């Protein structure tokens, strides 16, 4: 079996970029890193098949080394399903984090800070972070944008209600049909 060197190099690049992105604080970047890691793993599994050969259906007289091994391809299919599930979970996590905090940054854990404050621990090189590392707008801007959108929607509803003539807002009942609480004559 001769491995495909190009696919191995691409797989290594995907692993390196994926690991770099997973170590970021932004959940969106973590999601992209996980997707790169899964694609790198899929390529690595495919390279274990070797070059393309015959379909793995038994035929008398064929050399067994001429067949393609189907097991890595089955692993790749399983990996694709698992990566879809992880991607869906991460998308839901990013969306919920955005709904709750208007950001996707992973905050520091208080327990981690307590452990880091103990004697004997070495501070990390990147322990001091800038205040805003997210590309999203800050909370006050997001709240102002939300208020402006709600105000605009109310103005549209009020303008629409003012444009409808009085008495046309509700349909009159057809003749002889009683409404709730009225007597039919």
Q: Digits of tens for pLDDT over the chain (185 positions)?
A: 667 888 889 999 999 999 999 998 888 999 999 999 999 999 998 888 777 777 777 777 878 777 877 888 889 999 999 999 999 999 999 898 888 878 788 777 787 787 777 777 666 776 776 666 666 667 788 788 888 888 988 998 888 888 876 655 555 555 555 455 444 44
In the structure encoding, which two tokens stand for residue 132, read together?
């805003």
Q: Per DSSP, what are the bridge partners of residue 67?
A: 54
Q: Quickly count: other Cβ atoms within 10 Å of residue 95's Cβ.
A: 12
Cα-Cα-Cα-Cα dihedral of 70, 72, 75, 80, to 10°?
-100
* Backbone φ/ψ region at 105: left (φ over 0), alpha (ψ -120 to 50), beta: beta
> How many CA atoms lie less than 13 Å away from 120 in the CB half-sphere?
2
Please give the pLDDT value at position 133. Answer: 61
Please give the pLDDT value at position 80. Answer: 93
Q: Per DSSP, what are the bridge partners of residue 105?
A: 26
Are 47 and 11 contacting, i.e. CB atoms less than 8 angstroms apart? yes
pTM, 2 dp: 0.55
> How many CA atoms lie less than 13 Å away from 39 in the CB half-sphere?
15
């Amino acid at each position: 079996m001769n491995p495909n060197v190009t696919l191995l190099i691409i797989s290594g690049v995907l692993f390196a970029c994926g690991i770099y992105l997973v170590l970021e604080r932004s959940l969106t970047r973590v999601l992209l890193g996980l997707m790169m890691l899964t694609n790198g793993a899929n390529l690595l599994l495919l390279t274990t098949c070797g070059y393309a050969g015959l379909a793995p259906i038994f035929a008398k007289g064929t050399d067994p080394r001429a067949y393609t091994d189907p097991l890595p391809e089955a692993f790749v299919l399983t990996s694709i399903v698992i990566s879809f599930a992880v991607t869906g979970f991460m998308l839901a996590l990013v969306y919920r984090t955005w709904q709750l905090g208007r950001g996707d940054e992973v905050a520091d854990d208080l327990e981690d800070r307590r452990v880091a404050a103990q004697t004997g621990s070495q501070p990390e090189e990147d322990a001091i972070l800038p205040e805003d590392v997210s590309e999203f707008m800050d909370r006050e801007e997001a709240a102002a944008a939300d208020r402006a959108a709600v105000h605009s929607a109310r103005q549209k509803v009020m303008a629409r209600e003012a444009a409808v003539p009085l008495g046309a807002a509700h349909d009159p009942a057809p003749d002889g049909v009683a409404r709730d609480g009225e007597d039919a004559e």
